[in-house]
Chains A and B, each alone.
Chain A
Amino acid sequence: MTSDIPYDSATFDAVLVVDVLEHVDDPSHLIAEIARVLRPGGRFVGFVPIEGESRSLYALFRKLLGDDLYVRTKHHVQAYSYAELARLIETHFEFADVSHAYHALGHLMDAAFLRRQACRGSRTSGGVRTSTMPRRPRRIASSRLR
């Protein structure tokens, strides 16, 4: 489903988006809407998990526990690489600062949690997955970013 942000254009000085972009079906539309509701001079600050890099612990966990692991357990319908996310944001914004968050210890806890969730999901008929959710995370086609 695609919907507009229910505010007039150029309403806000800043928009904070934390752990959201990986959940939305049409991130290009959301980014455009954020650009619309921001005033000139506005800041767009956020955090997005990077689960689409081919050489990462996320990729390893998906290989071990199923390609739809993060869709089932976290409802993450998007899996971005750094380049994909940067292209998405740069369609409407210019980066002032970029940094990375780490949680190697958290990855170990994730592994235990996700393993349990994956086993539970395979034993029950539904698990945490809903029928409307895709089996695989979506990758953004470069044509959609332009």
Chain B
Amino acid sequence: MLELGNGLAYWESRLLAKRRLAAAGMLFDARHPAAINSRRRAGTV
């Protein structure tokens, strides 16, 4: 049952990837700006 649910969720995401109408929410990975600035200065970003 879990595999069926995961499979449906996967194809749902693939089919709706660019459509926000059915999107339930936003996942994000954000960085503390201090880190980004230091990595930019170091040339790693």
The smallest C-beta distance from A109 to any residue of chain B, in angstroms, reads: 12
Q: How many residues of B contact A (CB 8 A)?
A: 24
- A93 and B33: CB pair below 8 A? yes
Q: Which of A42, A56, A93 has the most CB of B within 10 A?
A: A93
Kindly state whether residue A35 has any CB partner on chain B within 8 Å: yes
Grouping DSSP codes into helix (H, G, I), strand (E, B) and loop, the A interface class, with mixed when no group exceeds half, is strand
The smallest C-beta distance from A24 to any residue of chain B, in angstroms, reads: 16
- B32 and A100: CB pair below 8 A? no
Among candidates B12, B33, B35, B36, residue contacting A103 with C-beta atoms closer than 8 Å = B12
Kindly state whether residue A1 has any CB partner on chain B within 8 Å: no
The smallest C-beta distance from B34 to any residue of chain A, in angstroms, reads: 4
Kindly state whether residue B25 has any CB partner on chain A within 8 Å: yes
User: Which A residues, 26 to 62, have Cβ-Cβ distances below 8 Å to chain B?
Assistant: 35, 38-50, 53, 55-57
Please give the residue numbers on chain B whose beta carbons come within 8 Å of chain A beta carbons, in ascending order: 8-9, 12-13, 16-17, 20-36, 38
> What are 18 A-to-B residue pairs whose CB atoms are below 8 Å?
A38-B32, A40-B32, A43-B32, A48-B26, A50-B24, A85-B26, A98-B28, A100-B17, A100-B26, A100-B27, A101-B13, A101-B25, A101-B27, A102-B12, A103-B9, A103-B12, A104-B16, A107-B24
